[in-house]
């Protein structure tokens, strides 16, 4: 099976390396510099004291014929718009899997002509070291759920066992994405503002208090999730990824744009539309936006 992976960031490199063990993978990137490095040096994955390189065919996204059996879209939500334009020109029978954080992109991807769309929730910890190397910080799993359609390509993907890289199919994409959203909201903004690793949040009573209040605000916005996810599950994830620096913290440290809009911005719009009061969420949003602006020169 031929798989295309759009995006040469941490998740794109991680997926390219692991999926190439079982499938014919092509990594699709925007920059010539990254294209040349990956084609020459391969994709190196580092985990604990091990290092392994997989040689993966790489193409410029703009020049690819996009003749794949399946495409993963592994760019951040704020870079999604031009990708969606490109995807409208691909064959509608190709299943598309979207790996973005938050929920802000779901309605937009539904406008694509493709018969089969899936949402993905990635629980691995990954850090891009450079254009051709990724550090696998924590082994998790990838959850997939159909937004619409069905596909034999997805069945083939699921039956292939890849060590340290499980892929599971979930029944309800909305609940799956909301569970991931709860995790992102309770971890990413706080770690990026405080400059701490995930494990410090439940260990510091002040951070823990804010997390609990955030959890209550999320339950106001999504009352049907009360029996679907519990606060202790978030704390367990903080502990299991205690040494990880969240993706938003890494973006702040490297003075890049964050995903605060798709993680909190979309929720604030929902709160305003439904006349809900979510002061903690609003404060964290403004703080991250302010820090982001300072890092980018105001």
Residues serving a catalytic function are: 180
Question: For the chain, what is the largest distance between any 2 Cα atoms, rounded to a whole number of angstroms?
Answer: 54
- In this structure, how many other beta carbons lie within 10 angstroms of the beta carbon of residue 127? 17
For residue 25, what is the DSSP state? E
- Residue 132 in 3-state DSSP? coil
Distance of CA 168 to the CA centre of its chain: 16
Beta strand pairing call for 50-54 and 43-47: antiparallel
- In this structure, how many other beta carbons lie within 10 angstroms of the beta carbon of residue 292? 18
Cβ atoms of 145 and 118 within 8 Å: the answer is yes
CA dist 74 and 134 (Å) reads 14
Sorted by sequence, the CB contacts under 8 Å of residue 177 that are 6+ apart come out as 103, 106, 119, 121, 145
H/E stretch holding 81 reads: helix 80-87
Tallying the residues shown for the chain, one arrives at 298
């Amino acid at each position: 099976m031929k798989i295309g992976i759009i995006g040469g960031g941490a998740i794109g490199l991680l997926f390219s390396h692991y999926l190439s063990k079982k499938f014919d993978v092509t990594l699709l990137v925007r920059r010539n510099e990254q294209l040349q490095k990956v084609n020459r040096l391969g994709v190196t994955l580092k985990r604990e004291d091990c290092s392994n390189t997989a040689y993966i065919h790489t193409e410029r996204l703009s020049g690819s014929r996009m003749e794949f059996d399946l495409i993963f879209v592994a760019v951040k939500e704020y870079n999604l718009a031009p990708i969606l334009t490109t995807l409208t020109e691909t064959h509608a029978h190709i299943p598309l899997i979207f790996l973005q954080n938050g929920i802000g992109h779901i309605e937009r991807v539904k406008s694509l002509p493709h018969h089969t769309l899936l949402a993905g929730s990635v629980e691995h910890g990954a850090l891009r070291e450079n254009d051709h190397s990724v550090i696998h910080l924590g082994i998790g799993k990838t959850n997939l759920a159909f937004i619409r359609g069905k596909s034999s390509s997805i069945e083939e993907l699921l039956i292939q066992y890849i060590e340290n890289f499980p892929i599971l199919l979930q029944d309800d994409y909305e609940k799956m994405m909301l569970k991931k959203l709860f995790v992102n909201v309770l971890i990413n903004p706080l770690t990026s503002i405080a400059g701490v690793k995930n494990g410090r949040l439940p260990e510091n009573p002040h951070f823990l208090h804010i997390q609990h209040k955030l959890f209550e605000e999320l339950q106001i916005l999504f009352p049907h999730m009360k029996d679907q996810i519990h606060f202790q599950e978030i704390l367990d994830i903080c502990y299991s990824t205690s040494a990880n620096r969240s993706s938003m913290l890494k973006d702040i440290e490297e003075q890049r744009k964050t995903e605060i809009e798709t993680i909190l911005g979309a929720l604030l719009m929902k709160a305003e539309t439904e006349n809900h009061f979510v002061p903690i969420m609003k404060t964290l949003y403004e703080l991250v936006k302010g820090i982001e602006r300072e890092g980018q020169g105001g």
